[in-house]
Amino acid sequence: MSDPVQAVALPHAVDVASVVLGAAQGALFASQVAKERKIDLVGIAMVAIATGLGGGIARDLLLNQVPAALQSNEYVSSALVAAVVAVGLSGAISRLDPLVVAFDALSLGLYLVVGLSKASSLGLGSVPSIFIGILSCTAGGVVRDLLLRTEVAMVTVGSFYAFAAFSGALVYMGLLQVANQGVATWMAVLVTFSVRMLSIWFGWSTPHA
Amino acid sequence: MSDPVQAVALPHAVDVASVVLGAAQGALFASQVAKERKIDLVGIAMVAIATGLGGGIARDLLLNQVPAALQSNEYVSSALVAAVVAVGLSGAISRLDPLVVAFDALSLGLYLVVGLSKASSLGLGSVPSIFIGILSCTAGGVVRDLLLRTEVAMVTVGSFYAFAAFSGALVYMGLLQVANQGVATWMAVLVTFSVRMLSIWFGWSTPHA
Amino acid sequence: MSDPVQAVALPHAVDVASVVLGAAQGALFASQVAKERKIDLVGIAMVAIATGLGGGIARDLLLNQVPAALQSNEYVSSALVAAVVAVGLSGAISRLDPLVVAFDALSLGLYLVVGLSKASSLGLGSVPSIFIGILSCTAGGVVRDLLLRTEVAMVTVGSFYAFAAFSGALVYMGLLQVANQGVATWMAVLVTFSVRMLSIWFGWSTPHA
Query: Are the Cβ atoms of A155 and B73 closer than 8 angstroms?
Result: no
CA-nearest residue of chain B to A142?
B147
Tell me what the mean pLDDT of segment A23-37 comes to: 88
**pLDDT above 80: residue B164:** yes
- What is the rounded CA–CA span in Å between residue B157 and residue C42? 9
Whole-number average pLDDT of chain A? 86
Query: Are the Cβ atoms of C154 and A43 closer than 8 angstroms?
Result: yes
Query: Are the Cβ atoms of C38 and B127 closer than 8 angstroms?
Result: no
Q: Nearest to residue A136, comparing CAs of A155, A117, A151, A122? A: A117
**pLDDT above 50: residue A70:** yes
Query: Which of B16, B38, B42, B57 is the best substitution to test chain A (most A C-beta atoms within 10 A)?
Result: B42
Tell me what the mean pLDDT of segment C37-46 comes to: 87
Q: Is the dihedral of CA A149, A132, B144, B195 positive or negative?
A: negative
Rounded to the nearest 5°, which phi and psi values hold at B65?
Answer: -125, 155
Residue A146: its chain C contacts at CB < 8 A? 146, 152
Q: How close B193 gets to chain A, by Cα (Å)?
A: 30
Residue C88: its chain B contacts at CB < 8 A? none
Chains touching A by CB (3 or more pairs below 8 Å): B, C
**pLDDT above 80: residue C154:** yes
Query: Are the Cβ atoms of B66 and A61 closer than 8 angstroms?
Result: no
The residue ranking higher by pLDDT, B124 or A37, is B124
Chains touching B by CB (3 or more pairs below 8 Å): A, C
Q: Give the pLDDT score at B101.
A: 80
Tell me what the mean pLDDT of segment C54-81 comes to: 95
ipTM (interface pTM)? 0.89
CA-nearest residue of chain C to B119?
C70
Query: Which of A124, A137, A155 is the best substitution to test chain B (most B C-beta atoms within 10 A)?
Result: A155
Q: Give the pLDDT score at B207.
A: 64
**pLDDT above 90: residue C131:** yes
Residue B44: its chain A contacts at CB < 8 A? 155, 209
Residue B87: its chain A contacts at CB < 8 A? 209
Q: Give the pLDDT score at B91.
A: 73
How deeply is C98 buried, as exposed, middle or buried, from its count of CB atoms within 10 A (0-12, 13-18, 19+)?
Answer: exposed
**pLDDT above 90: residue C109:** yes
The residue ranking higher by pLDDT, C7 or B52, is B52
Q: Given C76, C87, C147, which is nearest B131 (Cβ)?
A: C76
In chain C, pLDDT over 90 holds for what percent of residues? Answer: 56
Chains touching C by CB (3 or more pairs below 8 Å): A, B
**pLDDT above 60: residue A191:** yes
Q: Given A47, A67, A87, which is nearest C155 (Cβ)?
A: A47
Q: Give the pLDDT score at C11.
A: 61
Ordered alpha helix ranges (H), B63-180: 74-88, 90-95, 97-121, 126-148, 161-178
Q: Which helix (H) or strand (E) holds A12?
A: helix A11-34
Q: Given A41, A75, A147, which is nearest C209 (Cβ)?
A: A41
- Pick the range with the lowest mean pLDDT from A58-62, B6-10, B161-165: B6-10
Tell me what the mean pLDDT of segment C121-134 comes to: 94
pLDDT band at C1 (very low <50, low <70, confident <90, very high): very low
**pLDDT above 90: residue C92:** no
**pLDDT above 80: residue A203:** no
Tell me what the mean pLDDT of segment C40-67 comes to: 93
Tell me what the mean pLDDT of segment A112-128 comes to: 93
Dihedral, CA atoms, A17, A23, A29, A30, nearest 10 degrees?
Answer: 180
What DSSP string runs through chain C?
---HHHHHHTHHHHHHHHHHHHHHHHHHHHHHHHTTS-BBHHHHHHHHHHHHHHHHHHHHHHTTS--GGGSSSHHHHHHHHHHHHHHHTHHHHHHTHHHHHHHHHHHHHHHHHHHHHHHHHTT--HHHHHHHHHHHHHHHHHHHHHHHT---GGGBTT--HHHHHHHHHHHHHHHHHHS-HHHHHHHHHHHHHHHHHHHHHTT--PPB-
Q: Give the pLDDT score at C206.
A: 62
Q: Which helix (H) or strand (E) holds B8?
A: helix B4-9
Tell me what the mean pLDDT of segment B100-119 comes to: 89
Q: Given A64, A70, A147, which is nearest C131 (Cβ)?
A: A70
**pLDDT above 90: residue C104:** no
In chain B, pLDDT over 70 holds for what percent of residues? Answer: 89
Q: Give the pLDDT score at C7.
A: 45
Q: Give residue-wise pLDDT tens across range B1-53.
A: 444 434 445 668 888 999 999 999 899 889 888 888 888 888 899 999 999 99
**pLDDT above 90: residue A38:** no
Rg (chain A; Cα; Å): 16
Whole-number average pLDDT of chain C? 86
- Pick the range with the lowest mean pLDDT from A23-32, A54-63, C8-17, C165-174: C8-17
Query: Which of C42, C64, C84 is the best substitution to test chain B (most B C-beta atoms within 10 A)?
Result: C42
3-state secondary structure of B40: strand
Q: Given B127, B146, B206, which is nearest C42 (Cβ)?
A: B206
Residue A128: its chain B contacts at CB < 8 A? 69-73, 75-76
Q: Give the pLDDT score at B7.
A: 45
Q: Using beta carbons and an 8 Å cutoff, which residues of B are at the interface with C?
A: 61-64, 119, 124-128, 130-132, 142, 146, 149, 151-152, 154-160, 162-163, 205-209
The residue ranking higher by pLDDT, A205 or A38, is A38
Q: How close A146 gets to chain C, by Cα (Å)?
A: 7
Residue A71: its chain C contacts at CB < 8 A? 124-125, 128
Q: Give the pLDDT score at C6.
A: 46
**pLDDT above 90: residue B134:** yes
Q: Give the pLDDT score at C91.
A: 73
